Amino acid sequence: MKSLSVLFLVMGALSMLAFGQQWEQQSPLPTGSHLHHATWIGANSACIVGEDGIILRTDDGGANWAVQASGTTADLWYASFVDENTGWVAGAGGTILHTTDGGVSWQSQVSHTNRRLECMTWPTADRGWAAGQNGVLLKTTDGGLN
């Protein structure tokens, strides 16, 4: 019985070592904005979007984050990238922004809706879907041009 207790004690200690990792703050920023979505876009690159048009990007695994100029004050809810340079973000009022240079610049795309877009997926650089408030569902086959 004593050996069984020791076995459980050792197993518990090992599981704490294996699974006891703590979350660690990655950004020295706090932005003051609510952040809504984070997505990995490469081995060490990620993008985070949030309220007031905030877009943050890291290229060093989260050690440092840079604010990207989105050109909008709309709340952004979702980001989706097909590679480290080509991506879209979506948000309030039907906002869709597109980048081909990793977020150095963002161009607005016409969504033909004023509903909040909360989710996107891009299987290829041409074909994508966006979904959101009140069941809105958008599809493009030309990278969001139409």
Tell me how far apart the alpha carbons of residues 46 and 107 are, in angstroms, rounded to a whole number. 19
| 87 domain residue, yes or no | yes
What is the per-residue pLDDT across 9-50, written as a single tens digit (0 to 9) for each? 444 444 444 556 777 766 545 567 899 999 999 899 999 999
| 73 domain residue, yes or no | yes
Residues near 59 by beta carbon (within 8 Å), at least 6 away in sequence:
42, 44, 45
| 13 domain residue, yes or no | no
Q: Which domain does 46 fall in, by range?
A: 34-140
| 28 domain residue, yes or no | no
| 21 domain residue, yes or no | no
| 16 domain residue, yes or no | no
Asked whether residue 63 carries a pLDDT value surpassing 90, the answer given is no
| 64 domain residue, yes or no | yes
| 24 domain residue, yes or no | no
Predicted TM-score (pTM) of the model is 0.80
Q: State mean pLDDT over 46-62.
A: 94
| CA 71 centroid distance within chain | 18
What is the per-residue pLDDT across 75-132, written as a single tens digit (0 to 9) for each? 999 999 999 999 999 999 999 999 999 999 999 999 999 999 999 999 999 999 999 9
How many structural domains is the chain composed of? 1
